[in-house]
Amino acid sequence: MKILHKGHLYWPETLTNYAAYPTLDGDTEAEVAIIGGGMSGSICAYKLAQQGVKTILLERGDVAGGSTTANTGLLQFCNDIMLCDLIDQIGERDAVLFYKGCAEAIVQLGEVAAELEADVGFGPKISLYVASTEQDLPKLKREYETLKRHGFDVSYWEPDQIAAAFPFRKPGAIVTRGDAQVNPFRFVHSVIEAAASRYKLAVHEHTDVVSHETEADGTHVLRTSAQAVIRAKHVIYAIGYEPEELHGQLIKANLDRTFVIVTEPQTHLQPSYKDYFVWETARPYFYMRITDDGRVIAGGYDEESPVPLEEKNARNKHAELLLTRVQAFYPSFDAPIAHEWNATFGLSRDNLPFIGEDPNWSGVYYCLGYGGNGTVYSMMGANLLYAQISQTAHELSPIVALNRPSLQNV
């Protein structure tokens, strides 16, 4: 199993009592088998089971144990690629549809969170996207005008407006409303528990699928390392940043590593700061938000390596760099670092997720939320895959399909 993160994670410490699921030790059948018990797999499983589809979720380790534990819990409708650039790449209609699909996915994540018994830390956030330099202003203003023209809830702040609300001054900023935050570890565990108890989702941890064959009638036959056999009409791979396991070799992506810190709670904190998620135009970029209990979660400074940094002194240097950037924005913040980690981070070469059926293998689907909006893409993917499995057209399907035209030129 690939190592996806190194360091002292925060989210697992926020939930210590949760359900465990048995290893699959016998043969079984389902309409849909989902491989992967992280964010994408759990939301797909919840959606399908809720709709009455007989579904089995197979996780070779612990559910919520992979990239989910390193997820920063930020939910945005804006993406790694600006809307104005995405329009240039795939056309205005499709780019706007995709952005609006992201906005709708955040609303739907909130609806799922409201259906859960546990508090999963879901709540609204406002995003402040600041220009790092004067040179970034023309592009930032172009993006603001594009978002505004297409009906998104955005405003533009001049330096004086920024300085009036925050202890820092920047050349300009886009303010977007409709974003949110979530505790990813609590969310995944709660979603799976709800799907299992309410909708008869079958869940099996420590169940490693080692082979996948298709019979003449289209039935998919999965075998585990314990020699259990699962027969399913459809198979969804929701395996995060492990592309070498994909059979079709269709995925074009770049894998880097990204760094995150979480501080102890800040003792002197203006309450309004908690409402905002702050990120900047500089690349490699930096972002931060403040939790309900006053902790700063900050991250960024991605590096071109798919392997998480293991050596502690090197990790600490990155953590201190992030803390220095936090204090450059908020000089009064003095709470020390409580958690630091770095993790594999995937970004597709056309800045879109991979969602849909394998064009060369009927009944096999992928839900891979590559990019900074992985949780949002997971919700989008659950809707798209349910539509495809139920043979219903969805307008976003061709935009994120594995054989989409935008992948052919990268």
Model confidence pLDDT, tens digit, residues 76-127: 999 989 999 999 999 999 999 999 999 999 999 999 999 999 999 999 999 9
307-323 residue pLDDT tens: 999 999 999 999 999 99
Q: Are 200 and 338 found together in one domain?
A: no
Q: Given this model, what pLDDT does residue 67 score? A: 87
- Tell whether 243 and 355 lie within a shared domain: yes
Residue-range definition of the domain harbouring residue 342: 254-269+283-348
Q: Looking at the domain assignment, is residue 149 inside a domain?
A: no
pLDDT at 329 over 50: yes
366: helix, strand or coil? strand
How many domains, in total, are found in the chain? 2
**Can you say whether residue 58 is alpha, beta or left, with left for phi > 0 and alpha for psi between -120 and 50 degrees?**
beta
At 247 the pLDDT is 47
pLDDT-derived band at 346, boundaries 50, 70, 90: confident
> Is residue 116 within 8 Å of 194, Cβ to Cβ?
yes
Residue 399 lies in a domain: yes
pLDDT per position as a tens digit, 186-210:
999 999 999 999 999 999 999 999 9
Do residue 265 and residue 294 come from a single domain? yes
- Mean pLDDT (the chain) is 94
Q: Assess whether pLDDT exceeds 60 at residue 243.
A: no
Stronger pLDDT, 254 or 300, i.e. the higher one: 300
Q: Would 323 be classed as within a structural domain?
A: yes
Residues 6+ apart with CB under 8 A from 390: 51
Q: What is the CATH number of the domain that holds 57?
A: 3.50.50.60
The reported pLDDT for the residue numbered 349 is: 85
Whether residue 123 is contained in a domain is answered as: no
Residue 358 resides in a domain: yes
- Last residue in a domain, options 326, 348, 370: 348
Q: Is residue 408 scored above 90 in pLDDT?
A: no
Asked if residue 245 has pLDDT above 60, the reply is no
Within-domain flag for 232 = yes
Q: List C-alpha distances in Å: 175 to 131, 134, 135.
A: 12, 17, 19
pLDDT at 1 over 80: no
Mean pLDDT of 174-184: 98
In angstroms, the Cα distances linking 231 to 26, 30, 32, 35, 86 are 12, 6, 9, 13, 40
Which helix (H) or strand (E) segment holds residue 190: the answer is helix 184-199
